[in-house]
Amino acid sequence: MKQSTIAVLTVALALAGGAAGFGLYRYVHTADQPLVSAHSSATQAATVIDTRRPDFTLNDLDGKPHNISEWNGKVVLLNFWATWCPPCRHEIPDFIALQKEYGAKGLQVVGVALDQNDLVEQYRDTAGIDYPLLVGDLDAVDVAKAYGNSYGELPYTVFIDRQGHIAAIHRGGITKDAAEAAIKKLL
């Protein structure tokens, strides 16, 4: 075969592989996935719905430890994310807006970054994140698993009611409208 034919085939295969990979990514990480609730058939996360939220302590960006119990009595939107995750970065401006709109009514957005402290700090400053950010590489992975994320999917959002029970979970990117609807049910 000619070198030009081999080059064309190589490029075509690379493009086909990339398209297939992107298609699989979009299929698995779609913002249109429904919330997992007590009436959902998504067994992975459904096992934690209506249970008491697991206790955990992780450090903030200054190294100060925070326990989830600090937000007892509030509706908590607990978002597991990373700076290298495009869908995670996409939903952060919506979380900032939701915190501003519903914070006085009892909402607390808490971000749990599965990432390095310096990268999270840099991204916080760039994106203007004004809600608490906890960081914990492998410890954060363990926390995510305790909240039903056994596959390590990002982003992963958990809605906790004022009584400290897991009310709903969303796997993958979530739209502002879907997050707002879940929050309004709990306020």
Q: What is the pLDDT of residues 18-42, one digit of tens each?
A: 433 433 344 344 444 445 444 443 4
Q: How many helices (H) and strands (E) does the chain have?
A: 6, 7
Give me 144's structure tokens. Answer: 């995510």
Task: Please indicate, yes or no, whether the overall pTM of this predicted structure exceeds 0.85.
Answer: no
Instruction: Classify residue 9 by burial, with Cβ atoms within 10 Å: 0-12, 13-18, 19+.
Output: exposed
pLDDT value of position 75: 98
Task: Tell me: pLDDT of 16 over 80.
Answer: no
pLDDT value of position 114: 95
pLDDT average, residue stretch 46-73 = 95
